[in-house]
Structure 1
Amino acid sequence: MTDLFGNPTGPAQFSLFGEGEDRLQAPARPPVDHEARAREKLNRVLAKARAARTMPWDERNVRMWQTVFPQMAQWLPAEEAEQLKLEFFRELERLKAA
């Protein structure tokens, strides 16, 4: 059996789609623990803010963290997320006043 261009088709032809032994399998990706990764990053950012005497970021990065920090916190349990956000914004206010 051939297609419109004279190329052979059928079971001997590999396909990228569907199921079966003759099909390519998608590469397996290890699961990502978003909660742990977010917690680690948020705690690093918060530690940097706590350790600073003056604002450790330029104005552009301050705006970025004001947006990204709460978004990343959504990966955490609600109570933990709220506490981290409260502490982060408290540190930002302290640094802005310094």
Structure 2
Amino acid sequence: MDGNDTDLFGNAPPQADLFASEERPGYEFRANPDRVRRRLNRFLAEARAARAMPWPEREARTIETIFPQMANWLPDDEADQLRFEFAQEIERLKKAA
């Protein structure tokens, strides 16, 4: 449809159809690796320093979920090492409970 097309009743197409074939510029988020690294290391340090789970249950589940995802913003070898160390600490803390 070009801009002059109308339906049988003389109505222009709905606005949503006007943009259906156009690509829209998207927003691409890029995390700051230094900030990510600091935050992950902070979580890891808290876990290492604790004798029992240092976070309330809900927060602990959230951190366990986001930690591996946040690590994706780091180089693969660094991310894998941090994930491994964090998983070890979480297992230790769960056994201590």
TM-score by length of 1: 0.65
Comparing both structures, which one devotes a greater share of its residues to helix?
2
**Cα distance per residue 1:51-82 (max 9 Å; x no partner):** 00111011101110111101110110000000
Post-superposition offset of 1:46: 0.1
Post-superposition offset of 1:33: 6.3
SS class of match (2:55): coil
The amino acid across from 1:46 in the alignment is: L
Q: Residue in 2 aligned with 1:8?
A: none
Q: Residue in 2 aligned with 1:20?
A: none
Counterparts of 2:53 and 2:31 in 1: how far apart (Å)?
31
Gaps of 5+ in 2: 1-29
Q: Residue in 2 aligned with 1:60?
A: 58
Gaps of 5+ in 1: 1-31
Ranked by relative contact order (alpha carbons within 8 Å, sequence separation 6 or more), the top structure is: 2
TM-score by length of 2: 0.66
Structure 1 consecutive aligned stretches of length 4 or more whose deviation exceeds 3 Å: none
Percent of aligned pairs sharing the same letter: 58
Aligned partners of 2:68 and 2:83 also within 8 Å: yes
Post-superposition offset of 1:49: 0.2
